Structure 1
C-alpha cells in the first residue's frame, strides 16, 4: 500500500489540523465556481425575480445543512468521505461510493477546464484543444502540494471573483435600467420551481458529499459546521446571483457569453482561471482520495491520472452539462444520506479508526443507495432531497 501526505488511508493527525479561516477559504474556493454562475444564469432566465431568490436560498440552505452534517463527521473523526464509507458500506462496499464520487469529480474537472479554455479561445483565437491541454496540465500539477496549495490558491481567487462578480452584477443591473426594471423582466422560457431546486442542489451535491475530505483538517467539529454553511449557503448563493444578473441583462446563461456582452472577457481571463483552478484542484484532490480507497495507491498519483482523463473528456462534459447535473441530482445524495444515518446510529464505532472492524460489503447500505436513486427518480418533488430521504 502506497502512502502519501494526504492522509488517504487514515485520520488526519491533530498536528496537521487547521483553523476555521483557512478552511473557509478552501471551501469557498470550491464553491466559487463558474459552473454555478452558469446554472444561476439558467435560473435567472427561467424564473421570476422572487422565485429565483427563493429557489437559490432554499436550495443552498438544504445544501448547507447536508454538508454541515458531513463536515461535522469529517472533523470529528479526521476521516475522508471514503474512509467514513467503510463504516456504513464495508471495506469493499465503500468502493461503490468511491468510484461514483471520484468519477464525478473527474467530470467536474473536465467541465472546469473547458469553461476556462472556451472563452479564452474566443478572446485570443488560440485553438481550444491546445488551451484545454495546457490549462488541464497546469491545474493537475498544483495538486502535488496538497491542502496547502488549495489554501493559497483560494486566498487569491476568492476575493478576486467577488470583485469581478460584483462589478458584473452592477453592470447588468445598470444596463437594464436599474433593479426595478430587473425585477419586472418576464422569463421567456419559464422553469418550474421543482426543476429549479433540483438544479440548485444538483449543482454542488457531488462536491458537497465530499465535504469531509476537506474539513477533516478542522481543529473542531463545530467550526466545520460553520465552514460548510458559509461555503454552500452563502458562497454558492453568491455565484448563482452573479450568473443570473448577467443572464437577465443579455439573455444568455453561458457566463462566457455574458462576459463578452459586458466587455469583461479579457480582464476576466486571469480571475476566471484562478476561480476554476481552485475548484478543479479540489475536485482532483477528492478524486485521488476516492480511488486511493479502492486501490491503496498514492492519491497524488491517482489525481494526476484523473486530471489527464478529465482533460481528454473536457469538451464532451461541457456540452452535456445540464444532463450531468440531472444525473448527479439522483445518484449522489443517497451516499451522503447513508453515511450520516450510520454515524448518527452507530457513532461509538467511529471513536477509533485503527481499532474499528469492518465487514466486506454491507448490502443494506448498497440497497439504500439504490432505493434513494429510485426515490429521486420516481417520487414527485425535489429530486436530490427525495434521493437523500429515500
Structure 2
C-alpha cells in the first residue's frame, strides 16, 4: 500500500503513480460535476435576462474557448507529471515561494465558493424543516457533512459524483420541462431580453470567470487521468455539458419567465424535487472546491515551513472556515467577485502554460523526476518574472475598456513573461537559483 494513502495525504506532496490513476468515465463524471452546479444556472439566467439567445450563446462560446485553452493545457501537464496545480507551479515559472502565493489565492477563492454553495444548500435544508433548524444550524450540518466526504480523499469524489451527477441531471431536466412546456421554443430563441443589456466582452468574462478557478486547478483532477487523451475528453465533455447545454436551458428559462432569478423559481416550483437539485448541486461542486483548496494550502504550508500537513486535517479546517463564511452571509457578497476572478486567474494559467510548453524552463528536471516517480531534486526559490507578468496581466484585464477582460489579461501576461524571459536569457549575468 502506498504511504500517501496510509497517511491520508492523497499525493499532496508527490506525483500520483500510474497504479492510482482512474478510468475515463469516473474522471468525466467528476469534471462534469464541477461544471454543472446551480451557480451555472444563475450565470445562464443572467445572460438570458440581459442578452438575446444568440448573443448569450456567443458569449458562452468565447468564454468557453478561454476555459478550454487553460483547462486542456494545465490538464495535460498535470496528467503527464502527476502533480497538482499548486505543486506544478513551482517548476512552471513561479518557484517555491511564488507557488505559495498561488496556493493562497486558490485556497481563498475556493473556500469562498464553498461558503457560497453551502449557503444555497443550507437555505434549502432549512426550508425542508420549515425553519425549525434555522439557517445557522442548517449551514453547520450541510457544510460539515460535505467536509467529511472530502476528508476521505479523491476516491470519495469519484463515488459521490457517480451518485450525484446522474440524479442532478434527471431532476434539473424534469424541472426544466415543467417550466418550458407551455412555451414555444422558437419564440423563446427569437425573443428579446427584458433586463439591462450586457456587453459581449463583459458576458464572456463572466462565463470565463465563473469557472476559471476550476480551469486553473484542472491538474488537481487530471493528475489521476491515465493519459492525455483522457484529459481531452474529460475537459471537452464537461465544457459541452456544463457550459453549452446547462447555459442554453437557463437562457431559455430566463426568456420564458422574464427574470434572472431562475434557481429560486425552479426550487419553489418543484418542491421536494427542486430541493433535491439544490442538495445534489452543492454536494458535487463543494467536494471538489474543498479538495482543491486543501491541496493548495498543503503546498502553501510546505513551501513556507517545509512541514507536510495531512490532507485530512487541512480539509476539516478549511471546511470549518467555509461553513463559517456561509453563516456570516457570504452568499450575498462573494458573487460580486465573478468578474474579478476572470481577470486575476487567467494570467497565472498563461504564465504556467508559456513556461511549461514554450520556454520549458524546468522540463529536464520534471522529466528526470517523472522517471523515478519523485519530485525534482531542485526547486527555484521565487519567479519574479512570473509574478510581474501576472500583475501586469491582471491590471490590464481589470482596467482596459475594450475586448474581453479574461482574454486581455492572459495575453498580456503571456507576452510580458515571454519578453522578460528572453531578456534574462540574453543577459550574461542570468543564473538559476534553487533549493536542494
Q: TM-score, normalised by structure 2?
A: 0.85
Q: How does 1:353-364 map to 2 (within 5 A)?
A: 353-364=374-385
Deviations 1:323-362 (A, max 9, x none): 1212211111111111111111213332115334212111
Secondary structure in structure 2 of the residue aligned to 1:375: helix
Which residue of the other structure, out of 313, 337, 351, is the alignment partner of 2:325? Answer: 313
Residue 14 (structure 1) shift: 1.1
Please name the residue that 2:144 is paired with: 137
Give a deviation string over 1:60-93, Cα, whole Å, max 9, x none: 2321222011110000000000111111211112
Q: Deviations over 1:158-189 (max 9, x none)?
A: 111222222233233323x2112212332122
For residue 199 of structure 1, report the CA deviation from its aligned partner: 0.8
Contact 1:330/1:377 (<8 A) preserved: yes
Match of 1:329 in 2: 342
Specify the alignment match of 1:271 in structure 2.
Answer: 277
Residue in structure 2 matched with residue 387 of structure 1 by the alignment: 409
Match of 1:221 among 221, 228, 231: 228
For residues 246 and 318 of structure 2, what CA distance do their matches in structure 1 show? Answer: 26
Asked whether the equivalents of residues 189 and 252 of structure 2 are also in contact (C-alpha less than 8 Å), the reply is no
More off after superposition, 42-51 vs 115-124: 115-124
1:244 Cα offset (Å): 2.5
For residues 121 and 256 of structure 2, the distance between their equivalents in structure 1, rounded to whole angstroms, comes to 22
Distance apart, 1:210 and its partner CA: 0.2
Q: Which residue of 1 aligns with 2:25?
A: 21
Q: What is the aligned partner in structure 2 of residue 85 from structure 1?
A: 89
Q: What root-mean-square deviation, in Å, do the aligned CA atoms of Structure 1 and Structure 2 show?
A: 1.8
Distance 1:121 1:355, change over 3 A: closer
Measure the CA separation in 2 of the matches of 1:119 and 1:242. 22
Residue 321 of structure 1 deviates from its aligned partner by 4.2
Verify the 8 A CA contact 1:284 1:303 in the aligned structure 2.
yes
| Deviation at residue 140 of structure 1 after TM alignment | 0.7
Other-structure match for 2:256 = 249
TM-superposed deviation, 1:120:
3.9
Cα distance in 1 for partners of 2:271, 2:69 equals: 35
Task: Give the alignment of 1:293-308 within 5 angstroms.
Answer: 293-295=299-301, 296-308=308-320
Of 94, 111, 119, the residue aligned with 2:116 is 111
More displaced stretch, 51-60 vs 280-289: 51-60
Deviation at 1:133, TM superposition (A): 1.3
Separation of aligned partners in 2, 1:233 and 1:64: 10
Q: Work out which of the residue numbers 392, 395, 410 in structure 2 matches 1:374.
A: 395
Runs of at least 5 residues in structure 1 that lack an aligned partner in the other structure: none
Instruction: Decide whether aligned partners of structure 1 residues 383 and 356 sit closer, same or farther in structure 2, where only a CA change above 3 A counts.
Output: farther
User: What is the SS of the residue equivalent to 2:98?
Assistant: coil
d(CA) in 2 for partners of 1:65, 1:364: 22
The answer for the alignment partner of 2:57 in structure 1 is: 53
Cα distance change, pair 297–254 in 1 and its aligned pair in 2 (3 A): farther
Equivalent residue of 1:93, what SS?
A: helix
Contact 1:166 1:242 in 2 (8 A): no
Distance 1:349 1:258 in 2: 54
**Map of 1:341 onto structure 2:** 354
Distance 1:32 1:279 in 2: 8
1:196 corresponds to 2:196 = no
Would you say 1:184 and 2:190 are equivalent positions? yes
> Distance in 1 between the 2:385 and 2:94 partners?
8
* Shift in alpha-carbon separation, 1:260–1:283, aligned structure 2, 3 A: closer
- Contact preservation (8 Å) 2:366, 2:375: no
Decide whether aligned partners of structure 1 residues 34 and 260 sit closer, same or farther in structure 2, where only a CA change above 3 A counts: closer
Q: How far apart, in 2, do the equivalents of 1:58 and 1:341 lie?
A: 21
Partners of 2:339 and 2:257 in 1: CA distance? 26
Closer, same or farther in 2 for the Cα pair 1:73/1:82, shift >3 Å?
same
Contact map agreement 1:209 1:336 (CA 8 A) in 2: yes
Provide the C-alpha distance between the structure 2 equivalents of 1:57 and 1:307, rounded to a whole number of angstroms.
33
Q: Deviations over 1:348-384 (max 9, x none)?
A: 3321153342121111111111111112112322111
Cα distance in 1, alignment partners of residues 205 and 89 from structure 2: 25
Aligned-partner SS, 1:313: helix
How many residue pairs end up in the alignment? 387
Cα separation, 1, equivalents of 2:159 and 2:72: 23
Q: Does 1:230 align with 2:251?
A: no
Q: Which residue of 2 aligns with 1:284?
A: 290
Which shows bigger deviation, 116-125 or 5-14?
116-125
